[in-house]
């Protein structure tokens, strides 16, 4: 459990508390966006940006907590942070590409379909699933 | 101050895990489910890190690192299967 004997300076304690709380709030915001947005392309916005920032703030607070006094900074934490920040955009990009490839329907009232631009690229229209069906 | 904020942060992250689970179960398209699972992974890492602060030990960070690695690999595998029809070409 949390040791009462630790002598963390007040401002450092306040900084860790602020980082943990704001991180949790931002991650919750991203998850609300994931649950409430009307279509896939909008739902991608919430978690891919907000959750990365929220978890990043939480990890930063934890790094300060363990780095000042306790067990010392662990290598795993730095690895998690680096890995998370490197992979989150890649996985978001691949999910968006999968949604475009499957031609998931947009919300009513969207101006133009997201894949219109894609079809104009040479060599891309042949590999799309709709033209596969026509053959 | 951290001791009072920690349960609040854990509660907020649990709420966001529930919201991700809702999207994972309900998601109209398979891409929604993959997105929900990916966000569930990312938030689980944060819950494990908060648990590490709560228990004052960095032992369980190995599990968080493992979830980060496997979560990314599984997301890439599933989306690649959807786009290419095959995971390893």
User: What confidence tens digit (pLDDT) does each residue in B43-61 have?
Assistant: 999 999 999 999 888 888 9
Is residue A117 included in any domain, yes or no?
Answer: yes
Q: pLDDT tens digits, residue range A16-73?
A: 999 999 999 999 999 999 999 988 989 999 898 888 899 999 999 999 988 886 677 8
Contact A70 B56 (CB under 8 A): yes
Q: Is residue A110 within 8 Å of residue A99, measured between CB atoms?
A: no
Q: Is residue B6 within 8 Å of residue B56, measured between CB atoms?
A: no
Contact B5 A17 (CB under 8 A): yes
Q: How many angstroms separate the CA atoms of A74 and A66, rounded?
A: 8
Q: In which domain, by residue range, is A90 found? A: 10-134
Backbone angles phi, psi at A9, to 5 degrees: -60, 150
User: A125 CA to chain B: closest CA distance, Å?
Assistant: 14
Is residue A62 included in any domain, yes or no?
Answer: yes
CATH architecture of residue range(s) B2-84: Orthogonal Bundle (1.10)
Is residue A81 included in any domain, yes or no?
Answer: yes
Number of structural domains chain A divides into: 1
CA distances from A69 to A60, A72, A126 (A): 15, 6, 60
Contact A43 B35 (CB under 8 A): yes
Q: Which residue of A has its CA nearest to B31?
A: A99
Q: Is residue B83 within 8 Å of residue A101, measured between CB atoms?
A: yes
Write out the two tokens for B30.
């398979």
Is residue A67 included in any domain, yes or no?
Answer: yes
Model-level pTM?
A: 0.84
In this structure, what DSSP letter does residue A70 have?
S
């Amino acid at each position: 459990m949390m040791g009462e004997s630790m002598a963390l300076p007040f401002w450092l304690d306040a900084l860790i508390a602020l980082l943990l709380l704001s991180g949790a709030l931002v991650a919750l915001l991203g998850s609300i966006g994931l649950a409430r947005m009307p279509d896939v392309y909008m739902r991608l916005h919430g978690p891919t940006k907000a959750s990365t920032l929220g978890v990043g703030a939480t990890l930063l607070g934890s790094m300060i907590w363990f780095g000042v006094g306790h067990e010392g900074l662990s290598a795993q934490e730095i690895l998690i942070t680096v890995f998370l920040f490197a992979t989150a955009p890649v996985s978001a990009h691949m999910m968006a590409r999968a949604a475009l490839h499957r031609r998931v329907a947009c919300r009513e009232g969207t101006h133009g379909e997201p894949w219109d631009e894609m079809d104009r690229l040479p060599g891309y229209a042949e590999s799309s699933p709709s033209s596969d069906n026509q053959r | 101050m951290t001791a009072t904020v920690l349960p609040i942060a854990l509660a907020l992250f649990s709420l966001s895990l529930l919201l991700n689970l809702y999207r994972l179960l309900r998601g109209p398209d398979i891409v929604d489910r993959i997105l929900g699972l990916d966000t569930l992974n990312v938030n689980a890492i944060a819950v494990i890190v908060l648990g590490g602060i709560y228990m004052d030990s960095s032992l369980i960070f190995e599990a968080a690192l493992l979830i980060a690695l496997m979560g990314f690999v599984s997301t890439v595998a599933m989306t690649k299967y959807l786009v290419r029809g095959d995971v390893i070409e």
